[in-house]
Amino acid sequence: MALLELRGLTKQFGGLVAVDHVDFDVNEGEILGLIGPNGAGKTTIFNMITGIYPPTEGEIFFRGERIAHPSLTWKERLATPLWWVSWLPVSAIKKRWDGMRTLRPHEITERGIARTFQTIRLFKNLTVLENVMAGLHHRTRAGVWGAIARPPSQQQEEAYIVAEAEKYLAFMGLSDYRDELAKNLPYGHQRRLEIARALAAEPSLLILDEPAAGLNEQETLELMDTIRQIRDSGITILLIEHDMKVVMGICERIVVLDYGKKIAEGTPEEVQNNPRVIEAYLGEEEV
C-alpha cells in the first residue's frame, strides 16, 4: 500500500475544472515531483491533500485512511441520522462521524502531512524560533490548567518544545537568526524557515510547493541537498517545482499535469523525453 493515494481526484471552481480525475500514488520514502504548466492544477491538488478545500469528486487515502472526499451537501447531511447526533459528546458517535465528514487542515497535519505554501506564509511578526515552535503545537498537550498551574510536566514540555525547535533550526542552518522577526529574513531564508516549521510538525509526508522559487542557482543547489537529507531521514516528499534542475536532479518519479489532467508519469528520463510533456511544458530544447 502506498503512503498517499489519489483516486479520481477532481476539483471544480464554478465552470472551471482545475483538477480532472487525477490518480497517482506516493510511495513511502520517495521524492515525487509534480509538474505541469502554470494553472495546471498542482497547487489545487496540494490544497485538497491538506484539507484546505474538499474535492468535488474522488478521494485521497493516507496510510489507507480516507482523508479527503467530497463534503456532504446540506441535503445529504439532513438525510444522515449520524449528522443529527454528531454534536453529542459520545466518542463512539464522534468516531463514526469523523469517518464521514471532511477533515480539517489541522487534523490532517496531526495525521502526519505537513506543507509549505507557494506564496510564503510565515508568521511574519513572530521570531524565527516561535515560527518553528508552531510546528510542535500538535505534538504537545498542555492546556489552560497546565498553563496556569504550571506543573513540572508542563515545564518539561516547554523545554522540550524549545529544544526541538532549535534542532530543526540548526538542521536548516537558521540558528543564527533564532530571535529575528521572520519578516526581516531574506527571501531565501524565509523559504528555509517554512521548511523548518513544517519539519517540526514531524510529518511522514512533506509537501513542498515551489521551494526553489526565488532562490538563485547557488541557493537552489543547497536546497536540493537539504531535500535529499530530509528524505534520507525517513520523510517522504511530494514536491511542485518549475526549476527542472531541481526536479530532474532529486525526484525519483514525476507526475505531469496539464489542464487538470495527468498526462504523464514516470522517471525523470521518461518524462523528459515524453513528447506531450515537451510540447505542453518543457519546450523544444532542454533548459
Ligand X SMILES: Nc1ncnc2c1ncn2[C@@H]1O[C@H](COP(=O)(O)OP(=O)(O)OP(=O)(O)O)[C@@H](O)[C@H]1O
Q: Residue type at 206? A: L
The alpha carbon of 5 is separated from its chain's Cα centroid by a whole number of angstroms, namely: 14
Contact between 248 and 272 (Cβ < 8 Å): yes
Which residue do the cell numbers 513544517 mark? 198
Residues 80-139 interacting with other proteins (rule: CB under 8 A): 104-107, 109-110, 114-115, 117-119, 121-126, 130, 133-135, 137-139
Q: Considering just the CA atoms, what is the radius of gyration of the chain in Å?
A: 20
Please choose, out of 41-49, 54-62, 229-237, 261-269, the segment that lies near other proteins by the rule CB under 8 A: 41-49
Task: For residue 213, state whether it binds other proteins (rule: CB under 8 A).
Answer: yes
**Contacts by 71-77 with C-beta closer than 8 Å and gap 24+?**
71/101, 71/102, 72/100, 72/101
Q: How far is the CB of 286 from other proteins (least distance, A)?
A: 9
Task: For residue 152, state whether it binds other proteins (rule: CB under 8 A).
Answer: no
Q: How far is the CB of 210 from other proteins (least distance, A)?
A: 6
Task: For residue 121, state whether it binds ligand X (rule: CB under 6 A).
Answer: no
Please choose, out of 11-19, 97-105, 109-117, 120-128, the segment that lies near ligand X by the rule CB under 6 A: 11-19
Task: For residue 43, state whether it binds Mg ion (rule: CB under 5 A).
Answer: yes
Contact between 116 and 195 (Cβ < 8 Å): yes
Task: For residue 47, state whether it binds other proteins (rule: CB under 8 A).
Answer: yes
Q: What is the DSSP string of 199-250?
A: HHT--SEEEEESTTTT--HHHHHHHHHHHHHHHHTT-EEEEE-S-HHHHHHH
Residues 107-136 interacting with Mg ion (rule: CB under 5 A): 118
Question: Of the two residues 43 and 236, which places its CB atom closer to Mg ion in the complex?
Answer: 43
Residues 218-247 interacting with ligand X (rule: CB under 6 A): none
Look at residue 266 and give the partner it binds from other proteins, ligand X, Mg ion, none, a contact being a CB closer than 5 to 8 Å depending on partner kind.
Answer: none
Task: For residue 154, state whether it binds Mg ion (rule: CB under 5 A).
Answer: no
Q: Exposed, middle or buried, 101 (CB in 10 Å: 0-12/13-18/19+)?
A: middle
Q: How far is the CB of 272 from other proteins (least distance, A)?
A: 11
